[in-house]
Structure 1
Amino acid sequence: MHPSFEEQQLGKRRYITGFDGLRSLAVIGVIVYHLLPATLQGGYLGVPIFLLLTGYLITGSLMKEVQRTGTIHLIKFYLKRLRRLYPVLIAMLVLSTTYITLFQRVLLKDLRSIVVTNLLWIYNWWEIGHGQSYFDRFAGESPFTHMWTLSIEGQFYLIWPILLLLLVMLVKRKSLIQGIVFGLAILSAILMAVFYDPTNINRAYYGSDTRSFAIFLGAWLAMVWPVDRLKSQISKNSTRILDVTGIVCLAMVLLLYFVLQGQAPFTYFGGMFVFTLFAMILMAVIAHPGGHMNDWLTNPVFKWIGQRSYGIYVYQYPVMVFYESRVRSMGDHPVLNALAELIIILLISEASYRWIEQPLLHYDWHHAMSDVRHVFDRNAGWKKWLGAAITAAFSIVFVVGMVLKPQPPKPNHVQTQIEKSSKQVKARNDAIEKGQPVPNPSGKKQSIEKKYGLTKKQATKAQTLKITAVGDSVLADGAADLQEVVPNAYVNAEVGRQGYQAPALIKQLANKGHLNDVVVINLGTNGALSEQTIQQILSAVGSKRQLYWVTAHVPTKNWQNTVNKSIQKTAQAHKNVHVIDWYSYSKGHTSWFASDNVHPSDKGNIYYTRLIVTQILKDR
């Protein structure tokens, strides 16, 4: 994540320009994944590359210091780390808090805890207990979710120098030290599998113990593949082996960017570790001066991105969250909006690099007090006065945001409707399970035909339908209406549900005898659906059942069109899959939706139910 600081500041060594290329690949993967998650579903794997680089460069520098002096100057090391990390971190926290305080106070909830845990480098542990899933991109998204990575790095900087010094002092054999470090990497990968929980992946995803295998692999590589001992003069055959190895590993890294789904069990049962091994070998090839991979990954673009990769990573999520909260057409113009977000991120990162990172990196803090006093001199100049005024304004708003008591959000109509609908659906589901007469959720005897625009034949036939509906909050919103028309509909809907959770749920429903011959799926509100997830859903439903898939209406998110194209493509390839095109049917009918333009209003739920029922009845 960090540019050439380690090479330049922690011991003189050859500046490996190809590492800027590797950083660029990492940050590009992460950015594309966040902007267009369906395009690069494994882009989140850029993070292990950052951690690899951290482990390799820091350990290499520390080992060199130990060999030269016999010890590690811990205070000096910690101060250098603080100088590198804190300026951008504090700038992002202040700027984001200022924006939240002025324009998006709904995010004030837990803000103090978030800021403090980030400054103490324990935010990843806070997220395990309080945060949302890294892969939940729909509602209540935090602009700080991505900062878990920096906390893991901070903990590594704090603990690793001491642990490494103890290893060197207590364990005399280098090979044994190397074995211990590699063993720690294996242990971390095992812990990731142990703590993996498909219903809540936060512990496995955010944990320092479960994610440190990348850092330890980088540290191990620094011990067995030290930069200062790699010779540039090697045989042509050795060069050829290095180049081929580098090309293969680069190809595997790029392939896994596209295919390794972040919610898939395999990712946590060795998949991410395998990816990190390929990235580690690629990093080793880049570091070797006898190969050509370093040259191939060296160019002005990669240099520019690599040197600013820390800022790009830190500022990306706040920009995305704040931008997407204001733009209502993300789903209709995903590429254009992604480009707009990318430009903003790069501009802010460049400004930060020029005016915060580089000046403070080389600033002599012994002059801090005199420089502060100089600002108040009459002859200080308008630039310093302006800078001081801007800094003071942001600081004041930041303090206000930190002390402002967040007001608990009032339940909106959608939340109230979902809660009411969920209670009615539970009562009806319980009755279906017990074989009892199902209650009318509305408690009214209003004509079904009149309310939902159905013919008498359609309404009568709907009363005999037996369907199972699985979905997210959109289905939860309209479930009571659906069961009013189709009394024998067994509905399992949950707010925030993502596609990867559906296969296991569908299998569970089948085992309990609740999976009917007609299955309705409404997923895609909370994130893109990977091809793997779709195939798993099809497998769980089975080819003998008829599957009706409702298209997504999520104009505020950039995955809307991708989800709908996937649904259409799936229906074309499978005879038992049918499309219920809620997106096209509802497009342009703003009165059918609540204020979020995603969940149907009371009126919209009527049309939503009518569409589902009439589409199913077409085939009956």
Structure 2
Amino acid sequence: MLAFPRPASSAFYRPDIDGLRAIAVLSVIAYHIGVPGLPGGFVGVDIFFVLSGFLISGLLRQELLATGSLGFAAFFARRIRRLGPALMLVTLVTLLAGYMVLLPDAANTLGREARAVVTLSANHHFMKHAFDYFNTATDLKPLLHTWSLAVEEQYYLLWPLLMLGAYRAGGGEKALRPTLLAVLLLSFAACLSLSYSDMPKAFYLMPARAWEFAAGGLLAWLPLRHSRSAWHANALAGGGLAILLCSIVLLDEHSMVFPGWVVLLPVCGTLLVLAAGGLDPHHAPGRLLGSRWFTALGLLSYSWYLWHQPLLALGRYYDVGQRDLLRDFLLGGVLALFLAWLTYCLVEQPVRQRRWRCFATDKSTLWAGLAMSVLVWLVASAAMYMPKKYPWPGYQAILQVKQDQAQLPPGCDMPERGVPLSPQASCRIGPAHAPLQLLAWGDSHTDHAMPMYQLLAQAQGVGILRRAYHGCPPLVDAVPVGEGKVRSWCLNHSRAVMAELASLSRSGLHGVLMNVRWNGYTALPVAGSASITGLAQADAQGNVAVAGAMLAGVGQLDRAHSLQVMAASLDRVASQLAALRLKLVLLAPEPEMPLSVPECLARRGAAACHASRADVDRQRAAILPILQQVASRHANVRVWDPIARFCDAQTCYAAAAGVVRYQDQNHLTASMSRTLQADFAPLFSWARQP
């Protein structure tokens, strides 16, 4: 039956807890929508963690004291009834919608995310593939928010076992609080350590978040007695709400380390409000939190949380990755809340009240949970591969452009650690028996120049060795740092290539062609960036000295310092190549477009997809002088600038003369790359001569 959500009548029910859930879900969703003035809304997840620990640890303690044991089947059946059906529904609907909205590669990624959801490993998946939760690229990940559900369920797979073991080994209740306190202290220490060394791990991993659940659980086990003075409860609750409000309004992921020390604010604020309810259930702030609208939103919070991120991500993906406050409010706010209400009435409540036969008993619920997981796994697996074979009608024009890319040598891989280099025979282009005279070295922009190189290699009878590693600049003493990671694999790869060049120079290699997306490594959030990444100086052993938690764009990883490191390191590469009697051609940066071109052309028309020449000149303003200065200092270096082939005085064109120039925002199509061969031919010929 559809009705206004109302809490179940119970002597133990605390409406202020549903009010806290409302604050948590409102802050998270407002943050994801992009509501101005709430930069710290992401702390709503921390509020949820504390509330979960408070409620579930309290229930487990009651069961232990009453029976001396824990019913694991009943516990996990309750978890499945609480979380499983709604999660399955949202995941399946997201996969179906993803087939209609996403391009095949993105649909494949969504299928992998869905499989991680049902194996309770979404946090590990996103730590590996999303890196930085605060990165704008996460706007387009429909199931990103399930990382928090994975953390919670991983905690509750272990915590009941630890409780029971401590209870029996320690002689009863007296062992429970020390055990919980130990979990809290050890986990918080891990959280702080990782926050300042490997921030994604601190954010995503359960051991670094367990202390938040433990803090709520420890409060549930404290002997709070009702206070005779309402003043105590009012002060605690008022202070707690003030701390939560300050956390939501003042915290900012761009200027702090998170979780770090600052996560204490939302955790302590939540604990204070919960403690106030234990002292006096009728305190004034509690009556506000327990009002009808707050409790209704609290009851809908789980389903609302589930629905909002898929709707936001799919809407933004269809709109070429752009945020729009009104659209996002309607999708993630209004529509998601309506779907949450339907889900609560038609799925959550019937399941929790055991009106569906498959959830009537604990045993049947466990089997139902397994069946739901298998079903989602199978549908997700189909979603990974079906769209590529049977794409959604109407996407053919976009896919045709996306597939207009370089045909790279098979077996020329990018190993996880950057080394060992693939065999030279697997990375050669050009005529089969042509002498190896050039090496193409760089990142993914080297690969989009390969069609041009291939034509010139065939025409001039030259062999070219490909040494490209995406996301890595060809520098031997500078390391990209960002997303909470030091890309040490880039340094490994570059140093291996330089060592290889020493031997190749003795066997007929004459030149190096270098095309690199330099702005992607110099702390500039350019169009299409996955994140802000800076360059750090590396010593002979590959070590870098970077302060704090490696926040790119700040301190030693800011724009000015990264440009300095780039200029000095590139100059040293030029010197090393000169010592090897090798020439170097530096390709100047191609213009980057404001939106992904194939989707933009299909959905917005060509006029919306071009870039202004003034914007492109600003993109290149810091990089081009560095390349020119390196060339002026070294006789073996020249710079080739293709800007005239892309731009006139006012506009840089995403497509022209029937040729779509870009696969996305910054990678050229193979068709466009081939059109540049005549312009590049003189420098190509220069580079291959002794």
Fold shared by both chains (TM-score > 0.5): yes
Map of 1:401 onto structure 2: 383
Structure 1 residues 403 and 262, CA gap change in structure 2 (3 angstroms): same
Structure 1 residues 362 and 595, CA gap change in structure 2 (3 angstroms): farther
For residues 118-137 of structure 1, the aligned pairs below 5 Å read 118-137=117-136
For residues 156-171 of structure 1, the aligned pairs below 5 Å read 156-171=155-170
Please point out which of 228, 245, 253 is paired with 2:236: 245
Q: In 2, distance between residues paired with 1:140 and 1:411? A: 24
Please point out which of 519, 531, 553 is paired with 1:502: 553
Instruction: Give the AA of the match of 1:69.
Output: T
Map of 2:494 onto structure 1: none
Deviations 1:242-276 (A, max 9, x none): 21221122111111112222355543331113431
Q: In 1, distance between residues paired with 2:662 and 2:138? A: 13
Map of 1:317 onto structure 2: 309
Kindly state the Cα deviation for residue 328 of structure 1 after the two structures are TM-superposed: 5.3
Instruction: Give the AA of the match of 1:307.
Output: L
More helix by percentage: 1
Deviations 1:470-514 (A, max 9, x none): 42444999xxxxxxxxxxxxxxxxxxxxx9511245469649955
Task: Note if 1:308 corresponds to 2:300.
Answer: yes
Kindly state the Cα deviation for residue 212 of structure 1 after the two structures are TM-superposed: 1.3
Instruction: Give the AA of the match of 1:404.
Output: M
Task: Note if 1:103 corresponds to 2:94.
Answer: no
Q: In 2, distance between residues paired with 1:17 and 1:175? A: 30
Structure 1 residues 396 and 367, CA gap change in structure 2 (3 angstroms): closer
Q: In 2, distance between residues paired with 1:476 and 1:243? A: 47
Q: In 1, distance between residues paired with 2:339 and 2:29? A: 14
Kindly state the Cα deviation for residue 206 of structure 1 after the two structures are TM-superposed: 0.5
Deviations 1:568-587 (A, max 9, x none): xxxxxxxxxxxxxxxxx989
Please point out which of 454, 467, 471 is paired with 2:524: 471
Q: Is the 8 A contact 2:123 2:150 kept in 1?
A: yes
For residues 415-430 of structure 1, the aligned pairs below 5 Å read none
Q: Is the 8 A contact 2:303 2:340 kept in 1?
A: yes
Q: Is the 8 A contact 2:65 2:173 kept in 1?
A: no
Please point out which of 90, 93, 98 is paired with 1:92: 90
Please point out which of 49, 70, 89 is paired with 2:68: 70
Deviations 1:161-191 (A, max 9, x none): 2211222222247565323312311221211
Q: Is the 8 A contact 1:509 1:515 kept in 2?
A: no
Map of 2:284 onto structure 1: 292
Q: In 2, distance between residues paired with 1:156 and 1:599? A: 42
Task: Note if 1:47 corresponds to 2:68.
Answer: no
Q: In 2, distance between residues paired with 1:82 and 1:352? A: 15
Residue 260 of structure 2 aligns to a residue whose secondary structure is helix
Q: In 1, distance between residues paired with 2:529 and 2:190? A: 35
Identity percentage of aligned residues: 19
Instruction: Give the AA of the match of 2:241.
Output: L
Kindly state the Cα deviation for residue 416 of structure 1 after the two structures are TM-superposed: 6.3
Deviations 1:111-136 (A, max 9, x none): 45433332232221233334442112
- Normalised by the size of structure 1, how large is the TM-score? 0.62
Q: Is the 8 A contact 2:140 2:321 kept in 1?
A: no
Instruction: Give the AA of the match of 2:383.
Output: G
Q: In 2, distance between residues paired with 1:62 and 1:351? A: 31
Map of 1:203 onto structure 2: 201
Q: Is the 8 A contact 1:98 1:397 kept in 2?
A: no
Q: In 1, distance between residues paired with 2:317 and 2:340? A: 21
Please point out which of 315, 321, 326 is paired with 2:318: 326
Task: Note if 1:342 corresponds to 2:341.
Answer: no
Q: In 1, distance between residues paired with 2:112 and 2:378? A: 19
Residue 161 of structure 1 aligns to a residue whose secondary structure is helix
Kindly state the Cα deviation for residue 290 of structure 1 after the two structures are TM-superposed: 5.3
Kindly state the Cα deviation for residue 47 of structure 1 after the two structures are TM-superposed: 0.5
Q: In 1, distance between residues paired with 2:179 and 2:348? A: 36
For residues 448-467 of structure 1, the aligned pairs below 5 Å read none
Q: In 1, distance between residues paired with 2:186 and 2:143? A: 28
Task: Note if 1:275 corresponds to 2:273.
Answer: no
Indicate the larger mover: 63-72 or 503-512. 503-512
Kindly state the Cα deviation for residue 60 of structure 1 after the two structures are TM-superposed: 1.2
Q: Is the 8 A contact 2:107 2:383 kept in 1?
A: yes
- Normalised by the size of structure 2, how large is the TM-score? 0.56
Q: Is the 8 A contact 2:240 2:269 kept in 1?
A: yes
Residue 344 of structure 2 aligns to a residue whose secondary structure is helix
Q: Is the 8 A contact 1:55 1:214 kept in 2?
A: yes
Q: Structure 2: 5+ residue runs without aligned partners?
A: 361-374, 392-398, 407-442, 450-467, 478-510, 516-520, 531-549, 568-591, 601-648, 673-690
Structure 1 residues 130 and 213, CA gap change in structure 2 (3 angstroms): same
Q: Is the 8 A contact 1:330 1:337 kept in 2?
A: no
Deviations 1:350-389 (A, max 9, x none): 12112211122223454789xxxxxxxxxxxxxxxxxxxx
Deviations 1:435-460 (A, max 9, x none): xxxx99999xxxxxxxxxxxxxxxxx
RMSD: 4.7
Map of 2:79 onto structure 1: 81
Map of 1:455 onto structure 2: none
Q: In 2, distance between residues paired with 1:149 and 1:113? A: 17
Please point out which of 347, 351, 356 is paired with 1:360: 351
Structure 1 residues 212 and 413, CA gap change in structure 2 (3 angstroms): same
Task: Note if 1:257 corresponds to 2:310.
Answer: no
Q: In 2, distance between residues paired with 1:476 and 1:341? A: 24
Instruction: Give the AA of the match of 2:311.
Output: V
Deviations 1:301-360 (A, max 9, x none): 2122111100011111111011111235955x5245424431121121112112211122
Structure 1 residues 401 and 186, CA gap change in structure 2 (3 angstroms): same
Structure 1 residues 17 and 469, CA gap change in structure 2 (3 angstroms): closer
Q: Structure 1: 5+ residue runs without aligned partners?
A: 370-392, 431-438, 444-467, 478-498, 517-550, 558-584, 604-620
Kindly state the Cα deviation for residue 197 of structure 1 after the two structures are TM-superposed: 5.5
Q: Is the 8 A contact 2:552 2:558 kept in 1?
A: no
Q: In 1, distance between residues paired with 2:159 and 2:13? A: 23
Q: In 1, distance between residues paired with 2:261 and 2:60? A: 29
Structure 1 residues 475 and 125, CA gap change in structure 2 (3 angstroms): closer
Instruction: Give the AA of the match of 2:124.
Output: W
Instruction: Give the AA of the match of 2:353.
Output: H
Kindly state the Cα deviation for residue 98 of structure 1 after the two structures are TM-superposed: 1.2
Deviations 1:76-132 (A, max 9, x none): 111111111110111111111111223313323244543333223222123333444
Task: Note if 1:351 corresponds to 2:357.
Answer: no
Instruction: Give the AA of the match of 1:129.
Output: K
Q: In 1, distance between residues paired with 2:403 and 2:38? A: 35
Residue 268 of structure 1 aligns to a residue whose secondary structure is coil
Q: In 1, distance between residues paired with 2:139 and 2:32? A: 16
Kindly state the Cα deviation for residue 37 of structure 1 after the two structures are TM-superposed: 6.4
Q: In 1, distance between residues paired with 2:377 and 2:72? A: 31
Q: Is the 8 A contact 1:252 1:278 kept in 2?
A: yes
Structure 1 residues 208 and 241, CA gap change in structure 2 (3 angstroms): same
Q: In 2, distance between residues paired with 1:361 and 1:258? A: 35
Deviations 1:382-428 (A, max 9, x none): xxxxxxxxxxx9999767426638589956779965855899x9679
Q: Is the 8 A contact 2:184 2:215 kept in 1?
A: yes
Q: Is the 8 A contact 2:166 2:176 kept in 1?
A: yes
Kindly state the Cα deviation for residue 56 of structure 1 after the two structures are TM-superposed: 0.7
Q: Is the 8 A contact 2:115 2:380 kept in 1?
A: no
Structure 1 residues 514 and 165, CA gap change in structure 2 (3 angstroms): closer
Q: Aligned residue pairs: how many?
A: 455
Structure 1 residues 25 and 37, CA gap change in structure 2 (3 angstroms): same
For residues 533-548 of structure 1, the aligned pairs below 5 Å read none
Instruction: Give the AA of the match of 1:281.
Output: L
